Amino acid sequence: MTGTAKLNPPFKAEHLGSLLRPDYLLKARAQFDKKEITADELRELEDKAITDAVQMQKDVGLSGLTDGEYRRHMFYDGFFDYLEGFTYVEEPAREIFKMYVPDIAAFLAENTKPAATTLCTGKIKHVKSGYLPQFEAMKKYAKPEEVKNIKMTLAAPEWFHLRHGEHAYDKSVYANDEEHFNDIAAAYRVELKILYDAGCRNIQIDDPLLAYFCDESMLAGMAADGEDSEARLDAYIRLYNNCLRDRASATPDMTIGLHLCRGNFRHSIHFSEGGYDNIAIKLFNQINVDTYYLEYDTARAGTFEPLRHLPKDKSVVLGLITSKFPEMENVDELVGRVHEAAKVMAEGAGQTEEEALKRVCVSPQCGFASHEEGNLLGQEDMKKKLALVVELSKRY
């Protein structure tokens, strides 16, 4: 880190990537899954929807542009599904899931059939980028000087490991977690370099799992299973830093942000609760990222007190506006919350509140459609929410 927080990106007004899909795109995706339309026909409709989505982002005044994740089914698509060594499992056994993980506990309640998953069955190797075609396609919606602002949202490197633990990989391939993580990290470094060489300078890693370490129910569940939650968190931090170890030499002017939320499944469902207090010191001081996109739209995310541990060379994007419901927040109250957070940051970093405010950006707490079906609000509601983000960013 340079001693000064890296900004623009993140921009003072941000959003988290996913946007509500128009109905015609959802219909087309369903038709494609049934083999009723071709990939080219689906892509044509994706292009149309993305054209409108990018224009909407520009109309409300956002600088960081995304494709709304319109070419994905789920927010985490695009990395593991393109690596050699991972296998898609259509009907996994319940026994391979860790029931202490909050979303799994919710999904598998009342003997619900487990959803499909992905397991490591062979040696991991990066053979193709799933994100590069999405980034290249986005370039046509941006002016040359805007390409660096295009934000790519990436899957968390530990996504499948926390969900499956010892079942996440074949023990005949990897003897232990560290061996497995080393090859995930090597693949992640390749992915980042590919995107960097294509002109990408704005990365957001989406990781609700780290926020699960704030949830007392998961910590208790891990303890009951004889697992050390602190050791697991430390292992994931090492994994992150292994993924990012070549930043200074390979991707020097790329901004990398880390997004934590407590679940954002279809129809506005969340899965976990708990403030950042349990993980703040390690999260903010040990992971080699530039900024943190943090959920702060409800009391379940706790207070701003953990922000006193945020170093002065890092910024924060406060997710103060909910993407889950259409009700509009009061902008004056939001301004007050921004100043409340900045005061805590200033005290912790030995800065003035004015200096700390320069490291504060604002956004919704999460995307509007982490799952393609999206949250319980409409297109106009979403546009109003994003306009409110921009208005808020001009008020402090």
pLDDT for residue 108: 76
pLDDT at 51 over 90: yes
pLDDT for residue 2: 52
Whether the bond into 306 is cis, omega within 30 of 0: no
Kindly state the percentage of the chain with pLDDT values over 90. Answer: 90
The region of weakest confidence among 97-106, 256-265, 267-276, 363-372 is 267-276
Provide CB contacts within 8 A for 353, sequence distance 6+.
339, 342, 343, 346
The overall average pLDDT reported for the chain is: 95
Provide CB contacts within 8 A for 388, sequence distance 6+.
321, 328, 329, 331, 334
Is the separation of the CB atoms in 141 and 206 below 8 Å?
no
pLDDT for residue 262: 82
pLDDT band at 61 (very low <50, low <70, confident <90, very high): very high
Provide CB contacts within 8 A for 141, sequence distance 6+.
50, 51, 54, 65, 67
The region of weakest confidence among 34-43, 235-244, 272-281, 311-320 is 272-281
pLDDT at 37 over 90: yes
CA dihedral 326, 329, 331, 337 (to 10 degrees): -140
Question: Could you tell me which of 229, 226, 73, 240 has the C-alpha nearest to residue 162?
Answer: 229
Kindly state the percentage of the chain with pLDDT values over 70. Answer: 96
User: If you average pLDDT over residues 271-296, what whole number do you get?
Assistant: 94
User: If you average pLDDT over residues 201-229, what whole number do you get?
Assistant: 96
Q: Using one digit for the tens of pLDDT, what is the confidence trace for 287-326?
A: 999 999 999 999 989 999 999 999 999 999 999 999 999 9
Q: Using one digit for the tens of pLDDT, what is the confidence trace for 125-155?
A: 999 999 999 999 999 999 999 999 999 999 9
What are the strands, taking DSSP E only, across 127-216? 152-155, 202-206
pLDDT for residue 285: 98
pLDDT at 111 over 90: no
Backbone angles phi, psi at 324, to 5 degrees: -90, -30
Residue listed under structure tokens 């494709």? 67
Is the separation of the CB atoms in 69 and 368 below 8 Å?
no
User: If you average pLDDT over residues 98-111, what whole number do you get?
Assistant: 82
Give kind and range of the element (H or E) at residue 121: strand 117-126
pLDDT for residue 273: 85
Provide CB contacts within 8 A for 58, sequence distance 6+.
65
pLDDT at 1 over 60: no
pLDDT at 370 over 90: no
pLDDT band at 3 (very low <50, low <70, confident <90, very high): confident
Backbone angles phi, psi at 207, to 5 degrees: -140, 85
Output the pTM of the full model. 0.96
Is the separation of the CB atoms in 1 and 304 below 8 Å?
no
pLDDT band at 263 (very low <50, low <70, confident <90, very high): low
pLDDT band at 110 (very low <50, low <70, confident <90, very high): low
Q: Using one digit for the tens of pLDDT, what is the confidence trace for 147-192?
A: 999 999 999 999 999 999 999 999 999 999 999 999 999 999 999 9
pLDDT for residue 115: 86
